[in-house]
A = this chain, B = another copy of it.
Protein backbone atom coordinates (compact mmCIF):
# COMPACT_ATOMS: atom_id res chain seq x y z
CA UNK A 1 0.00 0.00 0.00
CA UNK A 2 2.73 2.44 1.05
CA UNK A 3 4.63 1.38 -2.02
CA UNK A 4 1.79 2.32 -4.30
CA UNK A 5 1.70 5.79 -2.81
CA UNK A 6 5.38 6.29 -3.46
CA UNK A 7 4.94 5.15 -7.02
CA UNK A 8 2.26 7.76 -7.55
CA UNK A 9 4.40 10.48 -6.07
CA UNK A 10 7.29 9.37 -8.24
CA UNK A 11 5.32 10.36 -11.28
CA UNK A 12 4.92 13.85 -9.81
CA UNK A 13 8.60 14.09 -8.86
CA UNK A 14 9.57 13.09 -12.36
CA UNK A 15 7.25 15.71 -13.80
CA UNK A 16 8.80 18.42 -11.65
CA UNK A 17 12.38 17.40 -12.41
CA UNK A 18 11.72 17.34 -16.14
CA UNK A 19 9.98 20.71 -16.14
CA UNK A 20 12.70 22.39 -14.08
CA UNK A 21 15.74 20.43 -15.29
CA UNK A 22 16.80 20.18 -11.66
CA UNK A 23 16.86 17.35 -9.13
CA UNK A 24 14.57 17.57 -6.11
CA UNK A 25 16.21 17.25 -2.70
CA UNK A 26 15.03 14.58 -0.26
CA UNK A 27 13.57 17.32 1.88
CA UNK A 28 11.56 18.68 -1.03
CA UNK A 29 10.27 15.24 -1.90
CA UNK A 30 9.17 14.77 1.67
CA UNK A 31 7.21 17.99 2.02
CA UNK A 32 5.68 17.52 -1.42
CA UNK A 33 4.58 13.99 -0.55
CA UNK A 34 3.03 15.24 2.66
CA UNK A 35 1.04 17.96 0.96
CA UNK A 36 -0.54 15.78 -1.72
CA UNK A 37 -3.27 13.24 -1.06
CA UNK A 38 -3.87 10.28 -3.26
CA UNK A 39 -7.31 10.08 -4.81
CA UNK A 40 -8.87 7.45 -7.04
CA UNK A 41 -11.69 8.54 -9.29
CA UNK A 42 -13.89 6.48 -11.53
CA UNK A 43 -14.94 7.23 -15.06
CA UNK A 44 -17.68 9.89 -15.13
CA UNK A 45 -16.89 11.17 -11.63
CA UNK A 46 -16.54 14.93 -11.25
CA UNK A 47 -13.42 16.60 -9.90
CA UNK A 48 -15.25 19.93 -10.03
CA UNK A 49 -18.89 20.83 -10.59
CA UNK A 50 -20.49 24.03 -11.79
CA UNK A 51 -21.23 26.32 -8.86
CA UNK A 52 -18.46 24.95 -6.65
CA UNK A 53 -15.43 27.04 -5.79
CA UNK A 54 -12.28 25.30 -7.01
CA UNK A 55 -10.21 24.90 -3.85
CA UNK A 56 -7.96 22.05 -4.92
CA UNK A 57 -5.44 21.37 -7.58
CA UNK A 58 -5.23 17.90 -9.09
CA UNK A 59 -2.35 16.15 -10.81
CA UNK A 60 -3.24 13.28 -13.12
CA UNK A 61 -1.05 10.27 -12.41
CA UNK A 62 -3.15 8.03 -14.58
CA UNK A 63 -6.31 8.65 -16.54
CA UNK A 64 -7.89 11.53 -18.42
CA UNK A 65 -10.39 14.32 -17.99
CA UNK A 66 -12.32 17.04 -19.71
CA UNK A 67 -13.27 20.49 -18.53
CA UNK A 68 -16.50 21.80 -20.01
CA UNK A 69 -19.32 24.28 -19.62
CA UNK A 70 -22.99 23.82 -20.33
CA UNK A 71 -24.82 26.70 -22.02
CA UNK A 72 -28.49 27.72 -21.71
CA UNK A 73 -29.46 25.40 -24.54
CA UNK A 74 -27.87 22.50 -22.68
CA UNK A 75 -24.98 22.18 -25.10
CA UNK A 76 -21.58 21.22 -23.71
CA UNK A 77 -18.42 23.06 -24.69
CA UNK A 78 -15.10 21.41 -23.89
CA UNK A 79 -12.55 23.99 -22.80
CA UNK A 80 -9.76 21.46 -22.56
CA UNK A 81 -8.71 17.93 -21.89
CA UNK A 82 -6.38 16.42 -19.32
CA UNK A 83 -4.02 13.47 -19.60
CA UNK A 84 -1.24 11.95 -17.51
CA UNK A 85 0.88 14.63 -15.77
CA UNK A 86 -1.54 17.42 -16.58
CA UNK A 87 -3.05 19.54 -13.85
CA UNK A 88 -6.70 19.97 -13.00
CA UNK A 89 -8.02 23.36 -11.95
CA UNK A 90 -10.33 26.18 -12.92
CA UNK A 91 -8.05 29.23 -12.78
CA UNK A 92 -10.96 31.65 -12.87
CA UNK A 93 -12.63 30.10 -9.86
CA UNK A 94 -9.53 29.28 -7.83
CA UNK A 95 -7.84 32.66 -8.29
CA UNK A 96 -10.88 34.81 -7.63
CA UNK A 97 -12.58 32.35 -5.26
CA UNK A 98 -15.84 32.55 -7.16
CA UNK A 99 -18.20 29.69 -8.12
CA UNK A 100 -17.02 27.87 -11.20
CA UNK A 101 -18.87 27.95 -14.49
CA UNK A 102 -17.33 24.63 -15.46
CA UNK A 103 -17.34 20.93 -14.81
CA UNK A 104 -14.20 18.83 -14.66
CA UNK A 105 -15.08 15.21 -15.32
CA UNK A 106 -12.85 12.14 -15.44
CA UNK A 107 -13.15 10.29 -18.74
CA UNK A 108 -11.42 7.11 -17.53
CA UNK A 109 -10.86 5.47 -14.17
CA UNK A 110 -8.08 7.69 -12.84
CA UNK A 111 -5.50 8.17 -10.14
CA UNK A 112 -4.91 11.70 -8.95
CA UNK A 113 -2.74 13.56 -6.50
CA UNK A 114 -4.68 16.36 -4.86
CA UNK A 115 -3.48 19.40 -2.96
CA UNK A 116 -5.32 22.33 -1.41
CA UNK A 117 -4.60 25.81 -2.74
CA UNK A 118 -3.18 27.19 0.51
CA UNK A 119 -0.81 24.22 0.53
CA UNK A 120 0.25 25.03 -3.02
CA UNK A 121 1.07 28.53 -1.91
CA UNK A 122 3.04 27.31 1.07
CA UNK A 123 4.88 24.69 -0.94
CA UNK A 124 5.90 27.23 -3.57
CA UNK A 125 7.62 29.20 -0.83
CA UNK A 126 9.34 26.18 0.65
CA UNK A 127 10.45 24.35 -2.48
CA UNK A 128 12.28 26.07 -5.30
CA UNK A 129 11.64 23.16 -7.67
CA UNK A 130 7.94 23.28 -6.94
CA UNK A 131 7.80 27.02 -7.53
CA UNK A 132 9.76 26.81 -10.77
CA UNK A 133 7.43 24.10 -12.00
CA UNK A 134 4.42 26.34 -11.63
CA UNK A 135 6.16 29.25 -13.27
CA UNK A 136 7.04 27.02 -16.20
CA UNK A 137 3.49 25.71 -16.36
CA UNK A 138 2.11 29.24 -16.45
CA UNK A 139 4.34 30.05 -19.40
CA UNK A 140 3.53 26.81 -21.14
CA UNK A 141 -0.19 27.28 -20.73
CA UNK A 142 -0.02 30.91 -21.83
CA UNK A 143 1.55 29.82 -25.10
CA UNK A 144 -0.96 27.02 -25.54
CA UNK A 145 -3.94 29.30 -24.91
CA UNK A 146 -2.57 31.89 -27.31
CA UNK A 147 -2.41 29.27 -30.03
CA UNK A 148 -5.89 28.10 -29.22
CA UNK A 149 -7.31 31.62 -29.53
CA UNK A 150 -5.48 32.07 -32.78
CA UNK A 151 -6.93 28.82 -34.10
CA UNK A 152 -10.45 29.58 -32.91
CA UNK A 153 -10.77 33.04 -34.44
CA UNK A 154 -8.64 32.60 -37.55
CA UNK A 155 -8.93 29.05 -38.87
CA UNK A 156 -11.55 27.06 -40.72
CA UNK A 157 -12.92 23.82 -39.31
CA UNK A 158 -10.53 21.78 -41.41
CA UNK A 159 -7.48 23.81 -40.39
CA UNK A 160 -8.43 23.56 -36.74
CA UNK A 161 -8.73 19.80 -36.94
CA UNK A 162 -5.44 19.41 -38.78
CA UNK A 163 -3.79 21.71 -36.25
CA UNK A 164 -5.12 19.61 -33.39
CA UNK A 165 -3.96 16.41 -35.04
CA UNK A 166 -0.37 17.59 -35.16
CA UNK A 167 -0.34 19.40 -31.81
CA UNK A 168 -2.12 16.77 -29.74
CA UNK A 169 -2.14 13.47 -31.67
CA UNK A 170 -2.79 11.73 -28.34
CA UNK A 171 -6.22 13.35 -28.11
CA UNK A 172 -7.38 11.46 -31.21
CA UNK A 173 -6.43 8.15 -29.64
CA UNK A 174 -7.93 8.80 -26.23
CA UNK A 175 -11.07 10.85 -26.82
CA UNK A 176 -14.20 10.16 -28.86
CA UNK A 177 -14.83 12.32 -31.90
CA UNK A 178 -17.89 14.04 -30.52
CA UNK A 179 -15.71 15.42 -27.72
CA UNK A 180 -12.99 16.45 -30.15
CA UNK A 181 -15.71 18.27 -32.07
CA UNK A 182 -16.84 20.08 -28.94
CA UNK A 183 -13.23 21.03 -28.17
CA UNK A 184 -12.89 22.52 -31.65
CA UNK A 185 -16.20 24.34 -31.43
CA UNK A 186 -17.82 22.21 -34.15
CA UNK A 187 -20.83 19.93 -34.35
CA UNK A 188 -19.99 16.20 -34.46
CA UNK A 189 -21.49 16.01 -37.97
CA UNK A 190 -19.29 18.77 -39.30
CA UNK A 191 -16.20 17.17 -37.82
CA UNK A 192 -17.14 13.86 -39.36
CA UNK A 193 -17.41 15.47 -42.81
CA UNK A 194 -14.22 17.44 -42.36
CA UNK A 195 -12.36 14.25 -41.54
CA UNK A 196 -13.73 12.47 -44.58
CA UNK A 197 -12.49 15.29 -46.81
CA UNK A 198 -9.10 15.38 -45.11
CA UNK A 199 -8.56 11.67 -45.80
CA UNK A 200 -9.27 12.06 -49.51
CA UNK A 201 -6.40 14.50 -49.88
Smallest CB-CB separation from A149: which chain B residue?
A: B148
Interface contact A69-B150, CB-CB below 8 Å: yes
A168-201 vs B, CB cutoff 8 Å, 1 = contact: the mask equals 0000000000000011110000000000000000
Residue of B nearest to A185 (CB): B153
A96 within 8 A of B: yes
Pair A145/B138 contact, Cβ less than 8 Å: no
- A77: contacting residue among B139, B141, B145, B154, CB under 8 A: B154
Q: Give the distance in Å from the alpha carbon of A143 to the alpha carbon of B145 in the complex.
A: 11
| A146 near B146: Cβ-Cβ < 8 Å | no
A30, CB-defined interface residue at 8 Å: no
Query: What count of chain A residues pass the 8 Å CB interface test?
Result: 27
Quick one: closest B residue to A183, CB to CB? B153
Select which of B71, B141, B150, B184 is within 8 A of A142 by beta carbon: B141
- The A123-149 residues at the B interface (CB cut-off 8 A) are 138-139, 141-143, 145-149
CB distance from A151 to the nearest CB of B (A): 9
Which of B71, B75, B79 lies in contact with A149, CB distance below 8 A? B79
Residue numbers in B under 8 Å from A139 (CB-CB): 91, 95
CB pair B185–A146 under 8 Å, yes or no, is no
Pairwise interchain contact B143-A95, C-beta atoms closer than 8 A: yes
A152 on the B face (CB < 8 A): yes
A139 to B138, CA, bound (A): 8
